[in-house]
Structure formats: structure tokens, C-alpha cells
Amino acid sequence: MTTAYHPGSLTVQERAGVRHLAEHVGRSIGDGIRPVAAAFLESQPMLILGAADADGRVWASLLTGEPGFARATGPHGISVAGGVPAHDPLSTAVTAAGTPVGTIALDPRTRRRMRLNGIARPSARGLTVDAEQVFSNCPKYLQKRELYGFADAASRSADRAVRHGTALTLDQERFVRAADTFFVASAAADGVDASHRGGNPGFVTVASSTELSWPDYAGNAMFLTLGNLEADGRAGLLFLDWRTGTTLQLSGTARTAYDPEGARTVRFSVAQVVEAPGASPLRWSEPEYSPANPPVTEPRP
């Protein structure tokens, strides 16, 4: 990723009439990690990583650890202790040759987030990422939560109860409908991006066991995710039960539908499902919903 935007993002920006604004916002994207960003990253107990597996399927994965497990190694790289958990579909995705990844460090306690995209490689500590794009996002649509602490290993069951499928079960459909937050990884020829989506419960619609949709709320005008979907279409979603640590990962394809009034709806087709009960040791409080969340409305046909 040597420039802020590729043709997919430029196409969506033009369609939305925000090309000039996106050009201005894009100046905030750099390839260096500033001291304030390094300090923020080192205080986080979780990091979202997006990448493609050996079969080219895109996934969004949750990495966790005591604060400091993810830290800057200098102005152009980060180190992540432990790497990707063994039960995760990206557990073998990071190779010695280098793997394009997108990461997002998000702190529900402060409604702050930082994104870093680049090339990941295995390391003695876990993995490293050479930064190509580094930038922060506004707190819009981010629910506030307090961190209660870490669950002990005996109460976690991810390694012995991972469920795989090609469609959502009824319980998983309920999980998605109740979500106020999820993470989305997307890919294009020049790299991978990981981003956040938030709203009031019900903002994600389950049309069937293999079809989801959500409204694309107004954001920073970059359209990095929608730009990737315009160019490629592969995507991975990560839903998290903040109270129990259960993760629900979906891999598939997505497209954006535009209505005559300019509203955007992303439609996602499920191809693979991985549910890991208790995968995360983190235990969070109930949310304080973002004041920016729009009211949930019936999905457009």
C-alpha cells in the first residue's frame, strides 16, 4: 500500500460525492507510528488482525494478551506476542515470506482506535508487522465498555469446542442479531484492511443462514472497506460476545447496494463459519451505546 487509496476506494468516494473530503482526510494516513500511537497500542489487551488463509479466504481474528503483548518496535513496526491462536482459521496464515494484514487496536474504555496495515511475519515472540499505513479513527459508533478482567484458563473452552460450518445455526443467527459491534476484514490487490462497525442491536440483519446485511453509516469518507469490496469482494467478519469471550468468525463475500437516495447497504454471503466458545479471556461490561448510533430501521429490499 504505497498510496492512501486504490481505484476501488476512489470509485466509491466519487459515487458518494466526497472525493475532496477523502483527499483531505487521507493526509492523516502515514507509514510511521508516533509516540502517542505506540503508547496507546502498548496499553491494549486486544488486537484485531485481518488476513487471507492459504485458500484465499479472508478472516478477521482476535488476538489478546496482557497490555504490552502488542507493542511498537520502532516507528515502522509492531511485535505481537503469542501470534494467532491455534484454533483460529488464520493460525498458519502468517508465513516467513510475509503476509499482507490489516490490524485495528480498539479500546472500548476510551472509544479510541488505531489502524495499522502492512506485512506480517512470524517471530520468536509471535509475529511482527512492518507498517505501511498507520492512522486513527474517530469514536463514532463505538460502544463504551469497562474491562472487568481476564478469565482463568480453566473456564475457557475454545480449544475443545470449536464449531465449524458453512451456514449459521439458529443460535448463531441470534448472536448476530444481538450484536452492537463487529469487525470486518477486506482485501484488494494492494493489501488487507481491518475495520470496525457499530450500531444499536439489530443493525445487522440476518436474511437467512447464509445472508447478512448492515447499513453503511456515514464515516470518515475514506471508504477503505467499501473500496476493497468494490475491487475484490472477499471479506471476513468477527462477532464477539463481550461477556463470555465467545467469538464468531465468518468468511465470505460482500457487495454494496446503493439506493436512489444515496443510502448504502452492505450484503454479505456466508461461506465459512467458525465459533469458538470462550476464545477470548477478556470480560467486558454491558455497553454504553454511542450517541452517534442511528435508530435501527427495517432493512431496505
pLDDT tens across 160-207, in order?
A: 689 999 999 999 999 999 999 999 999 988 899 999 999 999 999 999
Nearest to 51 by CA among 11, 13, 80: 80
Domains of the chain: 7-284 (2.30.110.10)
pLDDT band of residue 96 (cuts 50, 70, 90) is very high
pLDDT band with cut points at 50, 70 and 90 for residue 31: confident
Residue 86 pLDDT > 50: yes
For the ranges 7-11, 77-81, 144-148, which has the lowest average pLDDT? 7-11
Beta-carbon contacts of residue 262 (< 8 Å; ≥ 6 apart): 16
DSSP notation for 166-230 = SS--HHHHHHHHT-SEEEEEEEETTEEEEEEEE-STT-SEEEETTEEEEE----SS--HHHHHHH
pLDDT tens column, 252-277: 999 999 988 889 999 999 999 999 99
The reported pTM is: 0.94
**Which cell is 241 given?**
460476545
Query: What region does 269 belong to: left with phi over 0, alpha with psi -120 to 50, or beta?
Result: beta
Dihedral sign (CA 163, 165, 169, 172)? positive
| CA separation for the pair 285, 43 (Å, rounded) | 18
pLDDT above 80 for 3: no
Name the grid cell of 16. 458518494
C-alpha cell at 242: 463481550
What integer pLDDT is reported at residue 154 of this predicted model?
Answer: 59
For the cut 70, the answer to whether the pLDDT of residue 2 exceeds it is no
Q: Which residues contact 27 (CB under 8 A, 6 or more apart)?
A: 4
Beta strand extents in the chain (DSSP E only): 46-52, 58-64, 70-74, 77-81, 99-107, 112-122, 126-137, 147-150, 163-165, 181-188, 191-198, 205-208, 211-215, 234-240, 247-258, 264-276, 282-284
The answer to whether residues 137 and 115 touch, using CB atoms and an 8 Å cutoff, is yes
